[in-house]
Amino acid sequence: MWMFHRDDLSKPVGPLVEALNREIKAGTIKAFGGSNWTTKRLAEANDYAKTHGLQGFSVSSPHFCLATAKEPYWPDTVVTTKEDKSWFEKMHMPLVAWSSTGRGFFAKGDPNYKDDPNLVRVYYNEANFEKLKRAEILGKKKGLTRIEIAIAYAVNQKFPVISLAGPETDEQVKSCVKAVDTELSQGEMDYLELKTNSFE
């Protein structure tokens, strides 16, 4: 799998799709995707591929998390929106979610914790703190931590999701596995997304 890291919107998608199809034909790669590509550009690239009898993007890797980013963590990166989620559901394209635990928001997010200015800038608002609270409430019911609930949320979408994480210890690896193996009901997903006030 070959991945573009970031998109260059000044470049047309056609030559990029053609170049990577030459690599597929040469046996250098088997598939390709993009990190921080908008769904609009992904659709444009795959429409081009289909029209020209070529292989299109197989995977996308934007920022995707239960906590909604107020702005991108880094410049020129893509934050998944509600509309994007609908697109991924329709296309059933796999999403590789970076920062699926909010870069520590579900570990140390607290209105009184201001030591990480980027965490405050990107995630601190009333809605995300409510999601954090609900992740803790649901986690207690299921025997999971807030981080485990965040990962479980990511992988329980209606389209394939790989949740990227950075475990540093054996226990953290086991925690990630536990989270990925957790099934959440639609009611629980709606509760975490603030659509309902109960997960029962």
Token digits for 77?
């990166």
Same domain, 42 and 86: no
Domain stops at, among 40, 59, 78 = 59
Low-confidence spans in the chain with pLDDT less than 70: none
Sign of CA dihedral 110, 64, 8, 23: positive
Question: Where in 71-178 does DSSP place strands (E)?
Answer: 95-97, 161-163
Same domain, 149 and 77: yes
Question: What's residue 200's pLDDT?
Answer: 81
d(CA 128, CA 99): 15
Same domain, 70 and 55: no
Question: What's residue 170's pLDDT?
Answer: 96
Question: What's residue 197's pLDDT?
Answer: 96
pLDDT in tens, 35-63: 999 999 999 999 999 999 999 999 999 99
Same domain, 84 and 177: yes
Same domain, 7 and 43: yes
Same domain, 13 and 88: no
Domain stops at, among 59, 80, 96 = 59
Question: Where in the chain does DSSP place strands (E)?
Answer: 2-4, 32-35, 59-61, 95-97, 161-163
Same domain, 83 and 177: yes
Same domain, 47 and 112: no
According to DSSP, residue 68 is labeled P
Chain centroid, CA 3 distance in Å: 15
Q: Letter for the amino acid at 167? A: P
Same domain, 137 and 119: yes
The CA-atom distances, in angstroms, between 167 and each of 15, 140, 142 are 38, 22, 21
**Cβ proximity of 97 and 164 under 8 Å:** yes
pLDDT in tens, 5-37: 999 999 999 999 999 999 999 999 999 999 999
What is the total count of domains within the chain?
A: 2
Question: What's residue 45's pLDDT?
Answer: 98
Domain that residue 108 falls in: 62-200
Same domain, 97 and 120: yes
Same domain, 45 and 75: no
d(CA 36, CA 5): 7
